[in-house]
Amino acid sequence: TKNNPVLVGDAGVGKTALALGLAQRIASGDVPAEMAKMRVLELDLMNVVAGTRFRGDFEERMNNIIKDIEEDGKVILFIDELHTIMGSGSGIDSTLDAANILKPALARGTLRTVGATTQEEYQKHIEKDAALSRRFAKVTIEEPSLADSMTILQGLKATYEKHHRVQITDEAVETAVKMAHRYLTSRHLPDSAIDLL
């Protein structure tokens, strides 16, 4: 079985929030026993690439990250904008990119990942690489309904109230969702409604 889901959906539908939600559920113990000791770490490829000037620097950094994760055995690696692994790190006197460095560990099953990307980027980059795409289980994330978006915003309400030192009524949540859906048609729920709130 493929233990590496890639969350595919439009910007703003909650792909990254789902990965963060997984981390929160693990931290609160609200997961099956086999996941209880896991933790979610995000791979920031820009930081990995930064400062790599010499041939082999990037590969060495990536291989060290993979080795540490495999030795730990309790890490789920979150890669937001998964398509960026294609080409990342190549060009520094090397043709090896992050995708090709990750493939062996993904094939061995010693690296657990959750990726997130859009449908367009998935088709353009991930799907075209058969060796990479077969390592991931595509999970399509649709835009939530108005009712689901209201539930999501209700769940975020206390955090926003505390942060902004305001009180947000249920009516404000409902209005934000309805107005975002009606007037911010170029964006997706729940992100558009969160910005309005």
Order of all β-strands in the sheet with 137-140: 39-42, 75-80, 112-117, 5-8, 137-140
- State which of 106, 123, 140 marks the end of a domain: 140
Place of tokens 């030795």: 71
Residue 57 and residue 153 in one domain:
no
Residue 102 and residue 157 in one domain:
no
The answer to whether 78 and 68 are in contact (CB under 8 A) is no
Residue 83 and residue 159 in one domain:
no
- Mean pLDDT of all residues belonging to the chain: 90
Q: Tokens at residue 187, please?
A: 């964006």
Residue 36 and residue 56 in one domain:
yes
Structural domains counted in the chain = 2
We report the CATH number of the domain holding residue 106 as 3.40.50.300
- State which of 125, 140, 155 marks the end of a domain: 140
Residue 151 and residue 136 in one domain:
no
Residue 184 and residue 97 in one domain:
no
Residue 34 and residue 74 in one domain:
yes
- Before 190, cis peptide (omega within 30)? yes
We report the CATH number of the domain holding residue 192 as 1.10.8.60
Strands 39-42, 75-80: pairing kind? parallel
Q: Which residues of the chain have pLDDT under 70?
A: 1, 89-95
Three-class secondary structure assignment of the chain? CCCCEEEECCCCCCHHHHHHHHHHHHHHCCCCHHHCCCEEEECCHHHHHCCCCCCCHHHHHHHHHHHHHHHHCCEEEEEECHHHHCCCCCCCCCCCCHHHHHHHHHHHCCCEEEEEECHHHHHHHHCCCHHHHCCCEEEECCCCCHHHHHHHHHHHHHHHHHHHCCCCCHHHHHHHHHHHHHHCCCCCCCHHHHHHC
Residue 90 and residue 117 in one domain:
yes
Residue 151 and residue 105 in one domain:
no
Q: Tokens at residue 77, please?
A: 């690696």
Residue 88 and residue 73 in one domain:
yes
Q: Note the pLDDT tens digit of each residue in 131-149.
A: 899 999 999 999 999 999 9
- Percent of all residues in the chain with a pLDDT value above 90, rounded to a whole number: 73
Q: Note the pLDDT tens digit of each residue in 24-41.
A: 999 999 999 999 999 999
pTM of the model: 0.85
How many CB atoms neighbour CB 2 within 10 A? 12
Residue 61 and residue 126 in one domain:
yes
Residue 33 and residue 111 in one domain:
yes
For 151, the domain range is 146-196
